[in-house]
């Protein structure tokens, strides 16, 4: 199949990845049908051979000299190294040999060299960062002075735009090494052990002599052919046979997309295939946007989004009242699982201290059970985070498509640090899935040509979206004197008088800032992401939302007489047409009367308050006045209304409806 695609003007190539599963295969030599269990074992034998070769390469070249040579991009003769990692390692003469008595073909060595080369190339950035931090080691590692911050940013490549949290995490790693060994490490290769090699097959480094993939007659299926060993330690090429594996392509892969050789991974006894494909998509533009979607991050209200329009006279107006994606119930369950994981880790560490080096200790079996339970809780947390990230990203991109936006502006919270808060709040803020949501959002937005741009987050929640005056935050609109954070009020009552939800003002500020600074959008060379790095004062002065004029009524509503008395109990709505004649028998349409309900009743757990406070504190026994409750027993939202009943998204209301709910003017 041809790997070349034709694109028209305004389109570009996009390579993406979708998940697939190898459920069966057929040995072409014997004609035997291989079930999933046998296929998993044979793929595991090949993955073990590649993993062993990769581990040998990493152990040999895990040092600063070899990593610098590989990252320099030139060999000993001054020639440019190839972009493929396995070809670069062969140019440098870094080979891997199979164990004695084991026969592997050259393509398996390629896969090992590709995996090792990618790992060594990625270590270059960490090595430069660690060297910069060590060269400017502060007097107090816990608190750097402004001069020390300037020095470490100057010593680190690209440190001017590097989040401070990255430098702090590397500083904590070095401090832990110093406390353990009584000295500072020489480089990152001393501070970090040799990385482990994953059990996977990078078939992209192979050619037709090892693996091929072709679409079938049905565009929704493909056939993968690859050579697999028939025993754990093949002694000759006769111990390798071709295996044909049909793959059901996910619906996310277009019919005209070009398929590439996948990456095979072993996960929970199943062979998963990461199917790479290339197809044509609309090209996202860095500037020239007129309608933008601003997205603000929150805690219980995970996302708050709304659209803004940039007019040709440089006036910016909001389109509707925006919408929110609330995930308090999901985050409550995540919080409960985090506490359970911490308890299991603490108990396992205590057992490990009691066991020591005694393998026959009576607590060894309990430690094994605790380890497996900890891994199961980790998998549950990972699946929950992934589901939440995908749902939130899909919702945000759908909001942009509905509003006709060509760009989504996100606030850059990579340097967010929770200070002055309790232990629980700090843990919740630090373990949010903002990075996963942004990655999924970029993946989904690229399909429709929508650009994803991050903007600085400074003062987006502190300033008024209409006049940039510092806001006063209150607990609620009906409690103007109670301090809080949810409701924002502009103190300039005479000129502006805006008030509304804090998150509503934040997404307006983000959208306005992105539209005014879109000419300063750049593409990061390391990540390929669009970003606005700094805020310019003269452009920021124009980043205000102009209120739209209220719609005047066409009818005269002047009061000419006394107000008509209304019933305290309104009459029920009736059908406008008479009921049909009821047929004989039990079946039939209900007689004329009240309008039937529009939706079925939700489970009882969905009616509860979906906040973190609905999770009970683990107790060891019953408390006075309350029923017995065992340890780690959840209540409220965690009792199982389901994921989709815990994540609530408000419907969008765009420019067809006047924006009057959040701009109420004044409390009086």
pLDDT, tens only, 31-54 = 999 999 999 999 999 999 999 999
Start-to-end CA span in the chain (Å) = 71
Please tell me the distance from the alpha carbon of residue 62 to that of residue 65, in angstroms, as a whole number.
9
pLDDT band at 603 (very low <50, low <70, confident <90, very high): low
Res 109: pLDDT: 93
DSSP letters, 246-269, are EEE--TTS-TTPEE---EEEEETT
Tokens for 63, please give them: 């040092």
β-strand partners of 248: 221
Question: What strand order describes the sheet that includes 487-489?
Answer: 479-483, 472-476, 487-489, 499-501
- Is the per-residue pLDDT at 620 higher than 60? no
pLDDT band at 486 (very low <50, low <70, confident <90, very high): confident
Mean pLDDT of 482-486: 80
Mean pLDDT of 492-500: 79
The runs of H, that is alpha helices, within 79-207 are 85-92, 106-135, 146-155, 164-181, 188-191
Please tell me the distance from the alpha carbon of residue 553 to that of residue 268, in angstroms, as a whole number.
64
Res 219: pLDDT: 83
pLDDT, tens only, 54-67 = 999 999 999 999 99
- Is the per-residue pLDDT at 588 higher than 80? no
pLDDT over 70, % of the chain: 80
Q: What is the mean pLDDT of the chain?
A: 82
- Is the per-residue pLDDT at 598 higher than 70? no
Res 500: pLDDT: 87
The percent of the chain in helix, strand and coil, each rounded to the nearest 5, is: 35, 20, 45
Position of tokens 């599963």?
A: 21
Tokens for 562, please give them: 């006394």
How many H-runs (helices) and E-runs (strands) does the chain carry?
Answer: 14, 22
Res 429: pLDDT: 60
pLDDT, tens only, 632-657 = 443 434 444 455 556 767 665 555 44
pLDDT, tens only, 278-320 = 999 999 998 999 999 999 988 778 899 999 999 988 899 999 8
pLDDT band at 595 (very low <50, low <70, confident <90, very high): very low
pLDDT, tens only, 71-93 = 998 888 888 999 999 999 999 99
Which residue has better confidence, 111 or 159?
111
- Is the per-residue pLDDT at 573 higher than 90? no
β-strand partners of 472: 489
β-strand partners of 15: 278
DSSP letters, 48-115, are HHHHHHHHHHHHHH-SHHHHHHHHHTB-TTSPBPPSSHHHHHHHHT----PPTT----HHHHHHHHHH
3-state SS, residue 399? helix
Which residue has better confidence, 108 or 420?
108
pLDDT band at 512 (very low <50, low <70, confident <90, very high): very high
- Is the per-residue pLDDT at 416 higher than 90? no
Res 326: pLDDT: 87
Tokens for 313, please give them: 């006279």
Which residue has better confidence, 28 or 482?
28
- Nearest 10 degrees: Cα torsion 555, 557, 560, 561: 120
Taking alpha carbons only, the member of 95, 174, 102 closest to residue 133 is 174
Res 392: pLDDT: 92
pTM: predicted TM-score of the whole model, two decimal places: 0.78
CA distances from 51 to 45, 99, 200, 420, 626 (A): 10, 12, 8, 46, 55
pLDDT band at 576 (very low <50, low <70, confident <90, very high): low
8-state DSSP, 545: B
Mean pLDDT of 260-274: 92
Res 652: pLDDT: 59
Domain ranges of the chain: 11-48+199-282, 51-191, 291-540
Contact assessment for residue 529 and residue 454, using Cβ atoms and an 8 Å cutoff: yes
Res 85: pLDDT: 92
């Amino acid at each position: 199949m041809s790997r070349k695609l034709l694109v028209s003007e305004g389109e570009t190539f996009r390579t993406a990845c979708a998940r697939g599963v190898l459920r069966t295969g057929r040995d072409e030599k014997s004609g035997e049908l291989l079930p999933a269990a046998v296929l998993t074992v044979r793929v595991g034998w090949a993955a073990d051979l590649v993993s062993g070769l990769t581990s040998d390469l990493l152990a040999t070249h895990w040092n600063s000299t070899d990593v610098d040579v590989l990252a320099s991009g030139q060999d000993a003769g001054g020639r440019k190294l190839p972009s493929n990692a396995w070809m670069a390692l062969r140019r440098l003469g870094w080979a891997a040999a199979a164990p004695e008595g084991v026969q592997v073909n050259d393509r398996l060595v390629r896969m090992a060299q590709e995996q090792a080369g990618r790992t060594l190339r990625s270590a270059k950035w960490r090595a430069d960062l660690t060297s910069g931090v060590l060269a400017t080691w502060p007097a107090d590692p816990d608190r750097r002075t402004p001069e020390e911050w300037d020095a470490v940013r100057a010593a680190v490549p690209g440190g001017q735009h590097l989040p401070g949290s990255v430098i702090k995490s590397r500083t904590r790693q070095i401090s832990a090494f110093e406390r353990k060994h009584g000295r500072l490490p020489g480089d990152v290769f001393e501070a970090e052990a040799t990385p482990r090699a994953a059990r996977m097959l990078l078939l992209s480094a192979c050619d037709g002599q090892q693996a091929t993939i072709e679409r079938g007659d049905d565009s929704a299926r493909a056939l993968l052919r690859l050579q697999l060993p028939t025993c754990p330690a093949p002694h000759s090429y006769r111990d390798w046979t071709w295996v044909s594996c049909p793959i059901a392509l996910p619906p996310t892969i277009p019919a005209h997309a070009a398929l590439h050789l996948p990456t095979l991974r072993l996960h929970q006894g199943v062979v998963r295939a990461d199917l790479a494909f290339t197809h044509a998509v609309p090209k996202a533009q860095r500037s020239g946007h007129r309608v933008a979607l601003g997205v603000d991050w929150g805690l219980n209200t995970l996302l708050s989004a709304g659209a803004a329009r940039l007019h040709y006279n440089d006036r910016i107006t909001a389109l509707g009242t925006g919408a929110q994606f609330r995930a308090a119930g999901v985050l409550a369950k995540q919080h409960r699982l985090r506490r359970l994981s911490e308890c299991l880790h603490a108990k396992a560490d205590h057992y490990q201290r009691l066991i020591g080096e005694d393998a026959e200790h009576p607590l060894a079996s309990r430690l094994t059970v605790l380890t497996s339970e900890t891994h199961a809780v980790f998998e549950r947390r990972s699946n929950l985070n992934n589901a939440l990230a995908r749902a939130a990203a899909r919702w945000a991109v759908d909001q942009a498509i509905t509003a006709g936006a060509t760009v989504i502006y996100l606030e850059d919270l990579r340097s967010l640090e929770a200070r002055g808060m309790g232990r629980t709040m700090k843990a919740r803020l630090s373990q949010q899935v903002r990075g996963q949501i942004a990655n999924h959002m970029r993946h989904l937005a690229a399909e429709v040509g929508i650009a994803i741009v991050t903007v600085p987050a400074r003062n987006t929640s502190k300033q008024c979206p209409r006049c940039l005056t510092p806001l006063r935050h209150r607990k609620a609109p009906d409690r103007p004197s109670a301090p809080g954070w949810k409701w924002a009020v502009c103190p300039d009552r005479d000129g502006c008088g805006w008030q509304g939800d804090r998150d509503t003002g934040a997404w307006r500020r983000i959208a306005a800032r992105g539209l005014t600074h879109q000419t300063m959008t750049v593409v990061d060379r390391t990540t390929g992401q669009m970003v606005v790095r700094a805020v310019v004062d003269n452009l920021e002065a124009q980043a205000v939302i102009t209120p739209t004029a209220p719609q005047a009524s066409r009818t005269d509503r002047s009061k000419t007489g006394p107000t008509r008395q209304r019933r305290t109990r309104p009459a029920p709505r009736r059908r406008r047409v008479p009921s049909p004649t009821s047929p004989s028998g039990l079946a039939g349409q209900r007689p004329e009367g009240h309008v039937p309900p529009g939706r079925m009743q939700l489970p009882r757990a969905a009616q509860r308050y979906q906040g973190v406070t609905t999770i009970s504190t683990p107790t060891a026994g019953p408390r006075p006045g309350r029923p017995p409750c065992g340890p780690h027993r959840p209540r409220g939202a965690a009792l199982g209304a389901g994921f989709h009943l815990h994540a609530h998204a408000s419907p969008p209301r765009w420019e067809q409806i006047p924006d009057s709910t959040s701009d109420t003017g004044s409390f009086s």
